[in-house]
């Protein structure tokens, strides 16, 4: 698509003169209010070098450029050159792009040949997949999609919590009190109950702890009977996690979790020793980070066992060797900010310059309307239940509102699950937020159902036109002069920005930037729909309006895809 900022800069540069002393593209602004123009050049920074007052410079530039075809009008106001784009020029450019790119509208190949690892979700085996986990899962999935949309070569990793001393405890508990059928029926609930029972019993019988430790050591050494149980717990847990991933249409390229690195830690420890950063401390080994304002990182315990961070160190090295990433992204809650700061520092101290390519992308906490999510008090809200409830409630709403669909269950699923995802991605990720059913399932506010409904509305207009898209998606058949009204132009400007907004969301690792823009597009379309009658008799006018609607539909559909949501054709 033509880049208006660049084109304008090329027009302005000769008018400013003085060679390339100024970064004109960098100076051009998009005014907050459209009555100040679509683009503006503030002349204050030019004043010193040009030895002239800003308002005089603005006036001069205005006179030199006002007759250019791409402008409808140019005004000089208080030291600014305010430029109004010729709407027909702009619309023709945008619609041509939409017709040309079709379903790929907004996509780019900026990231071609660059590998980006997106690590997200990472629940813990034998522990519930609760509503707190939704954040990493949904935010990570969206970040992966944003990078994919920009042409990066992405790798989705689920770094499962499938290693650690707790497995010694669960194995012990299972051997004492366990039952195979129960585990098969409800794996996570059952395994969790063993874990809880273990702790209760261990209060009175401390020898249980020793037994668990010994069991874990046998597991670490690959003892077959221990390995078999562990593998079974892992498989059963994963089967339950996958139910949730299926509901969310989320996939991974790798499930290499913590256990995958158990045989890769000795080599990592070796490097730390060579670099002289691993120091003994009361029988344990640590990396002292005081110099960097951080507490020491415990790398091996007194008994020689490794820790969470040790596995992350081995994982980082493995990922660099195996994938040679351009970026390695970790979508993990803000409670782990210190962990990742320590980890990145250690990678750097080990002499790996790719530490700068590793990014921890934290997010705030989610709580329920009646208080915080808590595993300890047993008030766990399972993600699966939340999704099922969203679908159920949506179905009730569809019936209540008399919304016509081809397949009510399918629509309820698309909208209900979409609503939860959207709610999650609406606010800046770092903010804590309260999960509220009223907000999730509101069809009128700035919500998932509202955006999906707008998509379905456009689909319905296109169906009602009685015309096949190939009949009107042709720039020569579009009467561009019919779509230069205010609401058409505002919609077009948002569509034009779509690709740039996705780039910004990628740079800031912030899906909410995309979410907000998609809501803006949906609202702009609805204003256009309210102001203008699309299916008019005049063929050129109808073709132009339908093509603009089509462009909005594709942008919304791609936008919803970026969030991990479906775009229903009917609702």
- What is the residue-wise DSSP string for 344-360? HHHHHHTT-GGGGGEEE
**Tokens coding 357:** 């390519």
Segment contacting ligand ARG by CB under 6 A, of 116-124, 478-486, 487-495, 523-531 = 116-124
* Residue 262 beta carbon to ligand ARG: minimum distance, rounded to whole angstroms: 15
Number of residues that bind ligand ARG (CB under 6 A): 8
Cα dihedral across residues 266, 271, 272, 276: positive or negative: positive
Q: Binding of ligand ARG at residue 542 (CB under 6 A)? A: no
Report the C-alpha gap between 173 and 192 in whole angstroms. Answer: 10
Residue 557 CB, shortest distance to ligand ARG, in Å, is 32
Q: How far is the CB of 360 from ligand ARG (least distance, A)?
A: 9
CB 522 within 8 A of CB 72: no
Nearest CA to 430 among 505, 498, 334? 334
The whole-angstrom separation of Cα 266 and Cα 291 is 26
Q: If you search the block for the tokens 């009128």, which residue do you land on?
A: 444
Residues in 147-166 at the binding interface with ligand ARG, rule: CB under 6 A: 159, 161
Taking CB under 6 A as the binding criterion, the range among 117-125, 147-155, 346-354, 532-540 that sits at the site for ligand ARG is 117-125
CA-to-CA dists, residue 258 to 124, 161, 170, 357, angstroms: 10, 6, 17, 21
Residue selected from 148, 312, 424, 510 as contacting ligand ARG according to rule CB under 6 A: 312
| By CB under 6 A, residue 124 contacts ligand ARG | yes
In the bound state with ligand ARG, the residue whose beta carbon lies nearer, of 122 and 268, is 122
Q: Could you tell me the smallest distance in angstroms from the CB atom of residue 354 to ligand ARG?
A: 16
Q: Are 456 and 553 in contact (CB under 8 A)?
A: no
122, 219, 419, 513: residue in contact with ligand ARG (rule CB under 6 A):
122
CA pair distance 181, 169, nearest whole angstrom: 20
Q: Which residue is nearest to ligand ARG (CB)?
A: 161
* Beta carbon of residue 133, minimum distance to ligand ARG (angstroms, whole number): 7
Is residue 330 involved in binding ligand ARG (CB under 6 A)? yes
Q: Which is nearer to ligand ARG, 361 or 483 (CB)?
A: 361
Structure tokens at 303: 């008994």
Shortest Cβ 159–ligand ARG spacing (Å):
4
Task: Using CA atoms of 440, 446, 449, 455 in order, give the dihedral in degrees to the nearest 10.
Answer: -160
Residue number with CB closer to ligand ARG (164 or 449): 164
Rounded least distance, CB 515 to ligand ARG, Å: 24
- C-alpha span between 396 and 249 (Å, rounded): 23
- Residue selected from 134, 192, 244, 332 as contacting ligand ARG according to rule CB under 6 A: 332
Q: Output the smallest distance, CB 124 to ligand ARG, in A.
A: 5
CA separation for the pair 314, 264 (Å, rounded): 6
Using CB under 6 A as the binding rule, the residues of this chain from 399 to 428 that contact ligand ARG are none
CA 228 from chain centre, in angstroms, equals 37
- Binding positions for ligand ARG, rule: CB under 6 A: 119, 122, 124, 159, 161, 312, 330, 332
């Amino acid at each position: 698509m033509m880049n208006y900022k660049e084109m304008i800069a090329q027009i302005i540069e000769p008018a400013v003169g003085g060679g390339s002393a100024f970064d004109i593209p960098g100076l051009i602004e998009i005014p907050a209010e459209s009555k100040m123009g679509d683009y503006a050049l503030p002349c204050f920074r030019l004043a010193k070098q040009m030895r002239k007052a800003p308002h005089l410079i603005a006036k001069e530039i205005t006179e030199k450029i006002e007759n250019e075809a791409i402008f409808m009008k140019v005004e000089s106001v208080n030291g600014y050159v305010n430029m109004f784009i010729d709407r027909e020029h702009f619309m023709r450019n945008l619609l041509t792009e939409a017709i040309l790119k079709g379903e790929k509208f907004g996509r780019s190949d900026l990231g071609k040949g660059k590998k980006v690892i997106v690590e997200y979700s990472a629940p813990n085996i034998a522990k519930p997949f609760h509503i707190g986990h939704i954040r990493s899962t949904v935010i990570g999935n969206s970040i992966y999609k944003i990078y994919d949309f920009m042409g990066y070569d992405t790798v989705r990793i689920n770094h499962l919590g499938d290693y650690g001393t707790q497995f010694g405890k669960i194995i012990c508990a299972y051997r004492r009190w366990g039952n195979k059928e129960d585990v098969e029926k409800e794996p996570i609930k059952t395994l969790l109950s063993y874990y809880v029972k273990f702790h209760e019993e261990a209060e009175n019988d401390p020898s249980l702890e020793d037994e668990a430790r010994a069991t874990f050591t046998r597991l670490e050494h690959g003892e077959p009977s221990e390995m078999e149980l562990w593998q079974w717990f892992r498989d059963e847990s994963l089967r339950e996690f996958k139910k949730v991933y299926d509901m969310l249409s989320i996939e991974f390229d790798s499930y290499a979790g913590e256990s995958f690195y158990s045989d890769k830690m000795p080599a990592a420890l070796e490097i730390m020793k060579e670099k002289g950063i691993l120091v003994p401390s009361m029988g344990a080994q640590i990396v002292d980070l005081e110099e960097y304002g951080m507490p020491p990182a415990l790398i091996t315990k007194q008994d020689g066992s490794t820790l969470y961070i040790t596995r992350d160190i081995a994982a980082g090295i493995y990922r660099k060797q195996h994938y040679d990433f351009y970026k390695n992204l970790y979508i993990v809650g803000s409670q782990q900010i210190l962990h990742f700061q320590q980890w990145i520092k250690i990678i750097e101290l080990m002499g790996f310059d790719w530490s700068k390519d590793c990014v921890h992308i934290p997010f705030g906490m989610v709580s329920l309307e009646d208080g915080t999510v808590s595993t300890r008090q047993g008030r766990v809200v399972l993600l699966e239940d939340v999704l099922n409830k969203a679908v159920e409630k949506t179905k009730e709403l569809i019936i209540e509102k008399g919304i016509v669909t081809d397949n009510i269950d399918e629509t309820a699923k698309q909208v209900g699950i979409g609503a939860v995802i959207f709610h999650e991605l609406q606010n800046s990720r770092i903010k804590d937020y309260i999960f509220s059913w009223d907000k999730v399932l509101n069809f009128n506010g700035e919500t998932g159902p509202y955006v999906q409904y707008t998509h379905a509305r456009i689909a319905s207009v296109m169906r009602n036109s009685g015309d096949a898209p190939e009949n009107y998606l042709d720039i020569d058949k579009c009467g561009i002069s019919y779509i230069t009204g205010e609401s058409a132009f505002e919609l077009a400007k948002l569509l034009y920005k779509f690709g740039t907004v996705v780039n910004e969301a990628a740079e800031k690792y912030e899906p909410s930037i995309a979410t907000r823009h998609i809501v803006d597009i949906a609202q702009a379309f609805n204003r256009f729909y309210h102001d203008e009658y699309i299916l008019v008799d005049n063929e050129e006018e109808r073709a132009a309006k339908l093509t603009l609607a089509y462009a909005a539909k594709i942008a919304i559909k791609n936008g919803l895809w970026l969030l991990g949501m479906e775009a229903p054709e009917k609702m």
